[in-house]
């Protein structure tokens, strides 16, 4: 589990989200969007970590699907922050999309894998 690229990237993403949200809150005094983003952005890694302790294949897939939903929500909040001018560094959105792609690939692999 410790060496999982998905787990590592989601944790780095969560830490980046915390920094971005704190920066926006301090400089732009915006809190509604950033509060939503911090919840969804940090939830991704939490759900991935839960997946590693799933009670079986179906539970594992379900946890990854929840993480994917949270990732998609984070992508939406990031798009709003970027397009509204509250934040300008698109790199955070690119990281979100990268995590989303890995999640999709992991879910597809797990669904196709008959090993329990």
39-60: average pLDDT:
97
pLDDT tens figures, 8-44: 999 999 999 999 999 999 999 989 999 999 999 999 9
pTM of the predicted model over 0.95: no
- Judged against a pLDDT cut of 50, whether residue 46 lies above it is answered with yes
- The per-residue pLDDT for 3 is 77
Q: From CA 116, how far away is CA 110, in angstroms rounded?
A: 9
- The per-residue pLDDT for 116 is 43
CB-based burial label for 104 (10 Å; 0-12, 13-18, 19+): middle
């Amino acid at each position: 589990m410790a060496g999982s690229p998905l787990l590592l990237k989601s944790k780095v993403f969560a830490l980046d989200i915390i920094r971005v949200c704190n920066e926006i809150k301090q400089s732009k005094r915006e809190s509604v969007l950033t509060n939503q983003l911090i919840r969804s952005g940090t939830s991704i890694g939490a759900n991935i970590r839960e997946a590693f302790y799933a009670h079986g294949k179906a539970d594992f897939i379900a946890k990854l699907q929840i993480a994917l939903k949270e990732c998609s929500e984070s992508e939406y909040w990031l798009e709003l922050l970027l397009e509204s001018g509250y934040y300008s560094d698109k790199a955070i959105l690119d990281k979100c999309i990268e995590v989303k792609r890995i999640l999709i690939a992991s879910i597809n692999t797990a669904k196709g894998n008959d090993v329990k």
